[in-house]
Chains A and B, each alone.
Chain A
Amino acid sequence: MNGDLSQFIQPGRVHRQIYTDPAIFELEMERIFGSAWIYVGHESQVKKPGDYARSFIGRKPVVLVRDADGKIRVIHNQCAHRGSLVVANDKGNTDEFICCYHGWTYHLDGRLKAVPLQHGYPKDFDPNNPKTAMLKVPRVASYGGFVFASEAEDGPSLEDFLGHMTTSLDDMIDRAPDDEIEVAGGVFRHAYDGNWKLYLENLCDAAHPLFVHRSSIDAAQAQSDAVHTDGTGEIAIRQMRQNGAPYSFWESQVGIWTYPNGHSYLGDYHDDAKLVAALKDPVFRDYIAALEKKKGKAETRRILEVRRWNSNVYPNLSFMSQFQQLRVVHPVAVNRTVVHTYNFRLKGAPEQMFRNTIAFANTVNGTGSLVLTDDLEIYNRIRLGLSSAGAEWIEIGRGLASDQPDAHGGRRGANSTSEVYIRNMLDAWAAYMTAPSLPSPASRAGIERHAVA
């Protein structure tokens, strides 16, 4: 199949099979999620030594943990003995990891610490063998507290992989007066019966809100502002109304930028003057004052002029710096995807800023959101539609002729409704899927050892 995979993507179109074929999904788990830098969590989720949080690389359960020396580790959540899941809680603090089956005990960095009944194992059993462990993911790196892990022993550094997208991550942090952000406010876990690729392919789609979100646009535009509100609904109503901006707005006010490795962002959408936390808003005025106090007027102006909507780091991360949102895509099966969404608190910002972040999360990421539910419906309908071979090819050619080269090795659409970001993701997909080198032998040996454990 290796030689055929690039044929699924042609200029302006993609074959339906890459969204429907379980065999291709298995290859994606190996060649994309098994080699790319995968976002696994934020350092603020594991502040103290012994703090841990469960995460995933593709379908593989891993543990993000801060070891006794304060170092961030990512280890496979599997016992070296019988392969059992070791860490069952989503998060917590511990001195060691103990498998509940036979009591094999591990250091926080995954090394084996103790094995009960050790005399019974074969003579060559060596508890100090580094392969007899909760195996380390070969490469772990952070950018500004955002932790990524790669199953490939070799490959581009995290910064090279991120490229120009580091500026979007910088924007997440720059907006904190104290230059520090932390995960807070709980997690949404929303799910749909559809392929994982569809999720990021929708997040820079400026052509869909007016149609897909028509029901919430109409309902919000018809809503009286005279009725009681406790303030939390404000941000939701304004967001839904803004989704109803005419196509002329999307095409003149919003841009789309793409970068190597499948990354992209939608920009200029909400400028801060139009935001819910608008410049005239007393909370936002306090926030600006806090920013200026710490960073000065010029830097504050520069920060607030960075106007990005969703920034997507292919293949599994999307975040939104203006509202401190972050979404992580977890593929489950070719037709099943779970997305975890997180919120960040800006250290040094007025408390109400975080409350707006929560209200905004409920609106765009909430399982019962008036907006997201229609996006989830679309992913399900694409799955239902693509189950038919009636049409073999899907169109992704919008804007193809007018895309322009951009700095930092990127391409941008002539306007925001270009599908350049989908083409860019699928170019990265093809590069991963047809790359001559699979994960290095050491990493594959680790996978195989677990597969037979």
Chain B
Amino acid sequence: MAPRGRSARLPAQPTLDLGACEQFLLHEARLLDDGKFDDWLKLFTAEAWYWVPSEPDQADPIETVSLIYDDRRLLETRVRRLASPRMYSQEPRSRTSRIVGNVSLEESGPLPTLPRLRGRNGWGCTVRSKFVMVEYRREQQRLFAGTAIHRLIQTGGRIMIAWKRVNLVNCDAPLDGITIPF
């Protein structure tokens, strides 16, 4: 349940509270662990972006390289490739297991000027969470951890991701290829 103070700040949109956001994040993590990337893509709005910076506290994805920076068109391409039998970096497939926790509501309410979402007004919130993801592939197990920041909006009775930023704790380390989204 949301703390009393938080609840008091929420406008009359009872479904987009901390509990609903947390359930949404768990649902997203499960889709990813289950390899249901098409369904994962459906969580994103038509103008969404997905970002994994290459530097701690990276200011933007425009002037500095990113481990992943996908606008909607690239995100669709990424997900389509994940279904390809010729994606050799996923032959054999990875298996992943994620724990999502420490979920907090950073801001909530009418967000009329969503960054990079020109013209879209909606009820939204920014949710911060921690994750740990184990990836196993071909006799090797890797551990990823970090902070995810989701901008969630409520549209047509659904919660959707307007943007998602994933700050890996080891974003600037030498890393073997990353193929499964966080």
Contact = CB atoms under 8 A, between A and B. Distances in A.
A229 B73 contact: yes
Question: Max chain B CB contacts within 10 Å: which of A223, A361, A373, A381?
Answer: A373
A47 B77 CA distance: 40
A236 B54 CA distance: 18
Contact of A215 (B54, B58, B84): B84
A215 B178 contact: no
Contact of B178 (A223, A228, A236, A373): A373
A326 to B, nearest CB: 12
Contacts of A188: 54, 65, 67
B71 A368 contact: no
Given A227-B73, A228-B73, A362-B69, A214 B64 contact: no
Question: Max chain A CB contacts within 10 Å: which of B63, B68, B70, B73?
Answer: B73
Interface stretch (A144-152, A190-198, A284-292): A190-198
B14 interface: no
A349 interface: no
Interface string A194-219: 00000000000000000010111011
Interface stretch (B19-27, B105-113, B124-132, B167-175): B167-175
B174 A185 contact: no
A114 to B, nearest CB: 33
Interface in A374-415: 374, 376-378, 381
A232 B72 contact: no
A239 B85 CA distance: 21
Nearest to B181: A368
A368 B75 CA distance: 12
B84 A214 contact: yes
A133 interface: no
B72 A227 contact: yes
A365 interface: yes
Contacts of A219: 77-78, 80-81, 84
B111 to A, nearest CB: 18
Contacts, number: 145
A381 B47 CA distance: 38
Interface in B139-182: 172-179
A140 interface: no
Given A358-B63, A358-B65, A373-B178, A187 B84 contact: no
Contacts of A368: 52, 67-68, 177-179
A361 B65 contact: yes
Interface of A is mostly: mixed
B89 A373 contact: yes
A214 B89 contact: no
A231 B71 CA distance: 8
A186 B54 contact: yes
A372 B72 contact: no
A307 to B, nearest CB: 24
A229 B173 contact: no
A233 interface: yes
Question: Max chain A CB contacts within 10 Å: which of B58, B65, B174?
Answer: B65
Contacts of A224: 73, 76
A374 B73 contact: no
B1 interface: no
A143 B70 CA distance: 36
B86 interface: yes
B87 interface: yes
B157 to A, nearest CB: 22
Contacts of B52: 368
Given A186-B64, A367-B67, A374 B178 contact: no
Interface in A157-192: 184-192
Given A236-B74, A366-B68, 16 more contacts: A186-B58, A187-B172, A191-B175, A219-B84, A220-B77, A223-B80, A224-B76, A227-B76, A231-B71, A358-B62, A362-B66, A367-B176, A368-B52, A368-B68, A373-B177, A376-B177
11 contacts: A186-B65, A191-B174, A215-B87, A223-B80, A229-B71, A232-B62, A232-B71, A236-B74, A368-B67, A370-B78, A374-B89
